[in-house]
């Protein structure tokens, strides 16, 4: 086996790919994908939710998702009407089962919420949903662009 070609791959922070499906309110960047590393069963990257921001309600189809909070605090809402809520801080893991409608909210006003995301598949499934959030409107009224176009 040619381990140089088929062994460990390192994707440096400056090499993340922002050309991924986005959800308003967050910026996703891909690190571990088939194209970049040859991964066939996992997708991994980063997500940043800015202060005063919340994502649009969405789900990821059949994919399981794990988030590891690195910095800040994430408030997660989930359920058919986003009726359930809990918070996670640095060092906490969040598990989102397949098809669960959810929303990420930055629970801090003074810093971004930054997390590592791992999904159980390569397909970039992001299904944005038309659900009214029970969260109060953000200060910027949702007008600020949160992700690159």
The tokens describing 82, both together, are 């986003």
Question: Is domain 26-113 annotated with CATH 2.60.120.10?
Answer: yes
How far is residue 123's CA from residue 25's CA, in Å, rounded to a whole number?
21
pTM above 0.75, yes or no: yes
The tokens describing 58, both together, are 């969405």
Cβ atoms < 10 Å from Cβ of 92: 14
The per-residue pLDDT string of the chain (149 residues; one tens digit each, 9 = 90 and over) reads: 888 887 888 888 889 998 887 777 788 899 999 888 989 999 999 999 888 888 889 999 999 999 999 999 999 999 999 999 999 999 999 999 999 999 999 999 999 999 999 999 988 788 989 999 898 765 544 433 232 22
- Among 57, 73, 1, CA closest to 25: 57
Render 97-109 in DSSP notation, one character per residue.
-TT--EEEEE--S
pLDDT of 138 reads: 55
The tokens describing 110, both together, are 């003074």
Domain spans in the chain, listed from the N-terminal domain onward = 26-113
pLDDT of 61 reads: 95
């Amino acid at each position: 086996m040619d381990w140089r070609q088929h062994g460990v791959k390192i994707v440096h922070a400056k090499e993340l790919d922002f050309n991924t499906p986005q959800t308003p309110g967050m910026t996703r960047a891909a690190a571990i994908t088939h194209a970049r590393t040859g991964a066939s069963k996992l997708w991994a990257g980063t997500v940043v939710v800015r202060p005063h921001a919340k994502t649009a309600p969405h789900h990821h189809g059949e994919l399981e998702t794990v988030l590891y909070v690195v910095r800040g605090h994430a408030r997660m809402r989930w359920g058919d009407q986003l009726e359930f809520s809990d918070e996670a801080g640095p060092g906490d893991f969040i598990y989102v089962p397949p098809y669960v409608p959810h929303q990420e909210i930055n629970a801090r006003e003074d810093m971004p919420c930054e997390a590592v995301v791992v999904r159980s598949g390569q397909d970039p499934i992001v299904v944005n949903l038309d659900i009214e959030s029970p969260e109060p409107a953000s200060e910027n009224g949702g007008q600020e662009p949160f992700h690159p176009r």
